[in-house]
A = this chain, B = another copy of it.
Amino acid sequence: MSNPPDGTRGARARARAEVTAAIKDEARRQLAAEGAAKLSLRAVARELGMASSALYRYFPSRDDLLTALIIDAYNSLGESAEAAEAAVAEAGPAHRWTAVCEAARAWALAHPHEYALIYGSPVPGYSAPQTTVPAAARVGLLLIDIVRDAHRGLGVAKPPLPAELRAEAERMTADLAPDLPPEVVTALVAAWAQLYGLIGFELFGQFNRVVEDREPFFRLAVARLAHGVGLVYPQQGRTD
């Protein structure tokens, strides 16, 4: 029969996809248990009951395995954030902003080693290939959308933009969100980076013995970030 009975053409390809997934699953297990640097191809193969050399049929090198895990991690984080945003889609922009930020933090706390993989120091000497870009952009695009919605014909007070940054700010605006004012776009990109500073410091132990009750601290910082991009909290009261 020349027609494949299942979705992927050929049972061969199907098996291949399954083994590939099994390898990534086991690798993710080891990643979560020991961290990226202790992820060992041989240990993965051992756990899967196959020869280490067989693994190279699926991933040409350890770095390629890591790249696959990185893309998956970006997508997992992106999905979490998108789901959290969708759950409060009807609420105001400030609420949606907070939901996305808190989803990112929650995902990071739940998958610390995967977070370290994508937002910590890039793994040893290795620089992420272009393939990761679309997955990596998901959270950022979400934040842009939210701010865009908030600014739709609203005309928020814009902080002044230094002359030296004018050109670059307009270039960034054209690339990212042509319908937003450059003042907001720069603030947005900065807030995006700062969000991961907050998450990283908590995750990597910089807040140890400094900030103990992290959740309300994070909430306040995120609210201030929101304020910086022109979102206003309607009511700061208790939400429980």
- Give A contacts to B, CB under 8 Å: 34-38, 116-117, 119-125, 127-128, 133, 136, 159-165, 167-168, 171-172, 175-176, 186-187, 189-190, 192-198, 200-202, 204-207, 209-213, 216-217, 219-221, 224, 228, 236, 238
Contacts and interface: CB of A to CB of B under 8 A. Distances in A.
A212 B121 contact: no
B186 A193 contact: no
A238 B163 contact: yes
| Complex A-B, nearest 4 residue pairs according to Cβ-Cβ distance, in ascending order | A197-B197, A120-B121, A37-B124, A116-B121
A225 B106 CA distance: 25
A217 B37 contact: no
Contacts of A171: 212
A162 B207 CA distance: 20
Contacts of A164: 216, 219, 238
A35 B124 contact: yes
A190 B219 CA distance: 11
A125 B37 contact: yes
A226 to B, nearest CB: 13
Contact of A217 (B121, B190, B220, B238): B190
B172 A35 contact: no
A172 B211 CA distance: 7
B193 A197 contact: yes
12 contacts: A36-B124, A119-B206, A120-B120, A121-B204, A136-B206, A190-B217, A193-B200, A193-B206, A194-B194, A196-B200, A197-B200, A200-B200
A205 B20 CA distance: 28
B128 A224 contact: no
Contact of A201 (B127, B193, B205): B193
A71 to B, nearest CB: 15
Contact of A198 (B160, B197, B212): B197
Contacts of A204: 119, 121-122
A131 to B, nearest CB: 14
A78 to B, nearest CB: 14
A163 B202 CA distance: 21
B194 A160 contact: no
B165 A220 contact: yes
